[in-house]
C-alpha cells in the first residue's frame, strides 16, 4: 500500500439551502465516491447571514478519493465552505451590465479568474433584446479566504476597460 | 419659539402647518416669489390659502423675512449644488444675527459644511439639520447619541424615487423607462428625475453623514457616485433567480463615500420596497442598528425639522 492510499479523516464544512432533501443531496457525492461517513453535525439553529444552514461532515477517505469527493460536491452544486485545510471564503456574486457579448464575455471571465483570488462557479447571461442591446450577466465566484476584495478589484478593472457596469455585492457584510 | 420659514414647498409648508401643534409661532414664511411677515405670528392657514390662490405667500421680500423676529430660521428652499446658494446666504444671515438655523436644504451642509461650522462657531445660534438625511428617520440624532466616533459605517437606501423604480422593476419585470413614467404619474418621481436616479441626492445625504462622522472636509466631489439609469430589467431578473435584488445603496465607511447599485439579498434588511428608506449603522458597542421609515414627504420631513427645533434654546 503506497503512502497516498492510506485512509485519513477529513472534515468538510458545507452550507446548504434550507430545503427538504438538501442534506441527502450533499451526502450522496461523499458515499458515491468512496468516502466513509463518520459524523454529521447539522447546525439547524445556526443559520448563516445568507440564510444557509452550516453542516460539518467528518469522513474517512484516501487523499485521492477526498479530492474526488470535493469535486463531486461542487459539481452537485453544494457550497463547500471548507475542505480539509483549504479555506474558502464566502461566495461572491456580481452582476455585469453592458455590451457583454461584443466585448468578449469569455475573455472577461478568464481575466477575472486570472487574478488568482477567485474561481468562477457559474455564469448566467441574459440578453432579451438581442446582443446589440444591453445585456446582463450574473457571475458567481468562490474566493479564497481574504481574496474577495482582490477579486472584486479585478472585476472592476476588467469592467472599466470594457465599458461595462458592475453591480457589486454590499461590502462589509451588510446583507444580514 | 418663533420660526421664520424660507421655502414653501412640501416641507416648508408642512412645518408652517404643524408649528402650532408643537407650540411654536411662525413669524415669516417666504418662497422665491415673496414673503409674508408678521412679528406677532402669521395666520398660517390664510397665508397658505393666499399662496394657493395667487401663487405667492405675500408681498414682502425674502430679506424682510430674514430681518424679522425669530428664534430659528427654517431653511427649506430647494437643494442646490456647488455654492449652495441662496440657502448658504440665508444660513449666514441668520447666524450673523445670532439666530438658530434648522436646515431641510441639504446644500449648505453637503457642499459648504466647514464654512457653516465656522460661522456657527462665531454665532450664538446653532445649526441643526436632521431633516437633510433620510427625512423622518432619526439618523443624525442617533449618530449623536451614540457618538460619531463609535459609528464605524453607515449604509442604507436613502432615495425613495430610485428605490421605488428598482423595486417595481424587480417585482413586475418592467424596464426602467416604463417604471419611471409610472412613478412620475404617481408623483413619486419629478419631471426631471436625474437628481434621484443618478444617485446625486443619496450622495449628498452620505456626504452630510461623512461630515458628521469625520468632522467635516467632505463635499459631493469626494463621493463616488453611480446611478440606476443603465440597469436593464434583465439584470434584476438574474439577481432574482439567485435570491437577490438590486438597491441603490449609499455607504460611508473608512473615510470613503460611495453610492451605487448593489446586490442585496431579496428578503434582507436593506431590500426595503417602494419609497421606504433604511439606514443601517455599524457601531462599536451597540452592534448593527437598522432604522427604516419615510425618507421624504412634507409632514414626515417636517417632523424632523420640528424635532430639531425642539432641541434649541430660545435666544435673547
From the centroid of its chain, how far is CA B56?
Answer: 24
Q: How far is CA B234 from the centre of its chain?
A: 32
Q: Compute the distance between CA of residue B62 and CA of residue B172 in angstroms, rounded to an integer.
A: 46
Query: Is B177's Cβ below 8 Å from some Cβ in A?
Result: no
Whether residue B234 and residue A168 make contact (CB cut-off 8 A), yes or no, is: no
CB contact under 8 A, A135 and B242: no
pTM exceeds 0.95 for this model: no
> Distance (Å, rounded) from C-alpha B284 to C-alpha B129?
24
Mean pLDDT of B208-224: 98
Q: Which residues make beta-bridge pairs with B15?
A: none
pLDDT at A88: 47
Place of cell 459539481: A75
Asked if A115 and A150 count as a contact pair (C-beta separation under 8 A), the reply is: yes
Per-residue pLDDT of B49-94, as tens digits, reads 999 999 999 999 999 999 999 999 999 999 999 999 999 999 999 9
pLDDT of residue B64: 96
**In the predicted model, what is the mean pLDDT of residues B100-123?**
98
Q: Name the residue with higher pLDDT: A48 or A71.
A: A71
> Residue A13 half-sphere exposure, CB side, CA atoms within 13 Å?
13
pLDDT of A85 over the 60 cut: no
Q: What is the mean pLDDT of residues B249-271?
A: 95
Residue B197 and residue B222 in contact, taking contact as beta carbons nearer than 8 Å: no
Is B51 known to be catalytic? no
Burial of B122: CB neighbours in 10 Å, binned 0-12, 13-18, 19+: exposed
Instruction: Give chain B positions within 8 Å (CB) of A176.
Output: 268-269, 288
User: Is the model's pLDDT at A44 over the cut of 80?
Assistant: no
Residue A94 and residue A156 in contact, taking contact as beta carbons nearer than 8 Å: no
Confidence band for A1, pLDDT divided at 50, 70 and 90 = very low
The larger pLDDT score, comparing residue A132 to residue A99, is at: A99
Element housing A105 (H / E): helix A105-113
pLDDT band at A5 (very low <50, low <70, confident <90, very high): low
Average pLDDT over residues B203-207: 98
Average pLDDT value for residue range B304-314: 96
Give how far A160 is from chain B: nearest CA, Å.
13
Q: Is-contact B200 B259, C-beta < 8 A?
A: no
CA–CA separation, B223 vs B217, rounded Å? 12
Instruction: Yes or no: say if B98 and B315 are a contact pair by the CB < 8 Å rule.
Output: yes
Which of B155, B233, B262 lies nearest to residue A169, judging by beta carbons? B262
pLDDT recorded at residue A12: 86
Residue B67 exposed, middle or buried by CB count within 10 Å (0-12, 13-18, 19+): middle
A interface with B, Cβ–Cβ < 8 A, is: 50-51, 93-95, 97-98, 124, 126-128, 133-138, 140, 165, 167-172, 174-176
Closest CA to B202 of B265, B139, B155, B153: B155
Q: Closest residue of A to B248, CA-based? A: A167
Average pLDDT, chain B: 95
**CA distance linking residue B104 with residue B101, whole number of Å:** 10
DSSP calls for B134-188: TTTS-HHHHHHHH-GGGEEEEEEE--HHHHHHHHHHHHHT--HHHHHHHHHHHTS
Reported ipTM: the value is 0.83
pLDDT above 80 for A144: no
Which pLDDT value is given to residue A89?
56
Q: Which three cell numbers stand for residue A65?
A: 478519493
Q: Which residues in chain B have their CB less than 8 angstroms from residue A50's CB? A: 265
Tell me which H or E stretch contains B303.
helix B298-311
pLDDT for A175 equals: 45
Nearest CA in chain A to B250: A170
Select which of B2, B51, B106, B205 is catalytic: B205
Q: Which of A68-77, A97-106, B39-48, B202-211 has the lowest mean pLDDT?
A: A68-77
Interchain pair B235, A167: CB under 8 A: yes
Contacts of B242 in chain A (CB under 8 A): 93, 138, 140
Amino acid at each position: 500500500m503506497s503512502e497516498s492510499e492510506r485512509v485519513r479523516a477529513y472534515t468538510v464544512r458545507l452550507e446548504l439551502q434550507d430545503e427538504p432533501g438538501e442534506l441527502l443531496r450533499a451526502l450522496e457525492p461523499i458515499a458515491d465516491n468512496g468516502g466513509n461517513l463518520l459524523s454529521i453535525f447539522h447546525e439547524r439553529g445556526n443559520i448563516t447571514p445568507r440564510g444557509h444552514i452550516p453542516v460539518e461532515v467528518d469522513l474517512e477517505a484516501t487523499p485521492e478519493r477526498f479530492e474526488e469527493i470535493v469535486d463531486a460536491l461542487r459539481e452537485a452544486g453544494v457550497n463547500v465552505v471548507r475542505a480539509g485545510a483549504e479555506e474558502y471564503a464566502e461566495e461572491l456574486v456580481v452582476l455585469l451590465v453592458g455590451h457583454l457579448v461584443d466585448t468578449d464575455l469569455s475573455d472577461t471571465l478568464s481575466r477575472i479568474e486570472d487574478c488568482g483570488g477567485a474561481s468562477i462557479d457559474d455564469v448566467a447571461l441574459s440578453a432579451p433584446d438581442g446582443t446589440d442591446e444591453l445585456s446582463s450577466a450574473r457571475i458567481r465566484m468562490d474566493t479564497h479566504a481574504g481574496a474577495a476584495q482582490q477579486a472584486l478589484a479585478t472585476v472592476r478593472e476588467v469592467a472599466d476597460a470594457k465599458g461595462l457596469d458592475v453591480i457589486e455585492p454590499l461590502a462589509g457584510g451588510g446583507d444580514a | 419659539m418663533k420660526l421664520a420659514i424660507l421655502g414653501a414647498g412640501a416641507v416648508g409648508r408642512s412645518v408652517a402647518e404643524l408649528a402650532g401643534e408643537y407650540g411654536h409661532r411662525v413669524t415669516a414664511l417666504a418662497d422665491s416669489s415673496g414673503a409674508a411677515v408678521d412679528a406677532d405670528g402669521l395666520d398660517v392657514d390664510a397665508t397658505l390659502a393666499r399662496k394657493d390662490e395667487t401663487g405667492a405667500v405675500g408681498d414682502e421680500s425674502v430679506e424682510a423675512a430674514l430681518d424679522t423676529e425669530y428664534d430659528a430660521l427654517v431653511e427649506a428652499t430647494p437643494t442646490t449644488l456647488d455654492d449652495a446658494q441662496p440657502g448658504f446666504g440665508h444660513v449666514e444671515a441668520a447666524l450673523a444675527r445670532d439666530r438658530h438655523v434648522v436646515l431641510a436644504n441639504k446644500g449648505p451642509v453637503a457642499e459648504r459644511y466647514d464654512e457653516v461650522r465656522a460661522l456657527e462657531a462665531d454665532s450664538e445660534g446653532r445649526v441643526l439639520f436632521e431633516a437633510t438625511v433620510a427625512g423622518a428617520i432619526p439618523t443624525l440624532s442617533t449618530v449623536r447619541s451614540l457618538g460619531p466616533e463609535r459609528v464605524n459605517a453607515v449604509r442604507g437606501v436613502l432615495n425613495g424615487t430610485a428605490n421605488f423604480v428598482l423595486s417595481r422593476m424587480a417585482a413586475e419585470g418592467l424596464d426602467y423607462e416604463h417604471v419611471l413614467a409610472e412613478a412620475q404619474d404617481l408623483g413619486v418621481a419629478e419631471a426631471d428625475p436625474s437628481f434621484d436616479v443618478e444617485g446625486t441626492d443619496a450622495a449628498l445625504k452620505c456626504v452630510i453623514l461623512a461630515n458628521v462622522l469625520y468632522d467635516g472636509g467632505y463635499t459631493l466631489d469626494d463621493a463616488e457616485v453611480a446611478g440606476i439609469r443603465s440597469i436593464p430589467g434583465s439584470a434584476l431578473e438574474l439577481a432574482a433567480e439567485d435570491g437577490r435584488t438590486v438597491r441603490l445603496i449609499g455607504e460611508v465607511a473608512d473615510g470613503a463615500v460611495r453610492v451605487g447599485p448593489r446586490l442585496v439579498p431579496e428578503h434582507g434588511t436593506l431590500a426595503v420596497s417602494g419609497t421606504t428608506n433604511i439606514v443601517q449603522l455599524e457601531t462599536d458597542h451597540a452592534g448593527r442598528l437598522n432604522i427604516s421609515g419615510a425618507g421624504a414627504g412634507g409632514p414626515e420631513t417636517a417632523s424632523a425639522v420640528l424635532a430639531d427645533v425642539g432641541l434649541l434654546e430660545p435666544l435673547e
